[in-house]
Structure 1
Amino acid sequence: NNLVLCSGCKGEVIAVGVDVKWWKDGDCICPNFALEHICGDLMEEIKASALSGDTDGVLRKYINVPAYA
């Protein structure tokens, strides 16, 4: 399949949702490679959120990620 590769990145916030309070435009970020993994053991259901696994990775100009990731 034609998935975008790579899971590690750093980037810059260019827009935030209306409910996001802790990020702002221009902030430097480094999202977790598994977007739903906040802490603790990496459970099977969390592995599905891994960038460049079953979902597109980060080798692209723009990416949407949850604020908590």
Structure 2
Amino acid sequence: MPTRPILRTSASGTRLTWADRPEIWIRVPIGLYAATEEHPARLHEIHVADGSRVEHRRSCKIENREIPYEQVCRG
């Protein structure tokens, strides 16, 4: 059945409204889970072959030496 406009009168005056307003209902399933265990945050990168920690060094390719953080900029 198509919607049809009708005139309604209120205290503020006459206005055009729709007699049949379509309603849309959407159900979204939500699952809630309780935290049962604590897991430590693993923030270190590890070399897979031998298990040693990976270091990230700032080095200059031209001078072939490590550079302090204060001398590094973007460009």
TM-score bucket of the superposed structures, by smaller chain: under 0.3
TM-score by length of 1: 0.18
Q: Which structure is richer in relative contact order (CA contacts within 8 A, separation 6 or more)?
A: 1
TM-score by length of 2: 0.18
More strand by share: 2
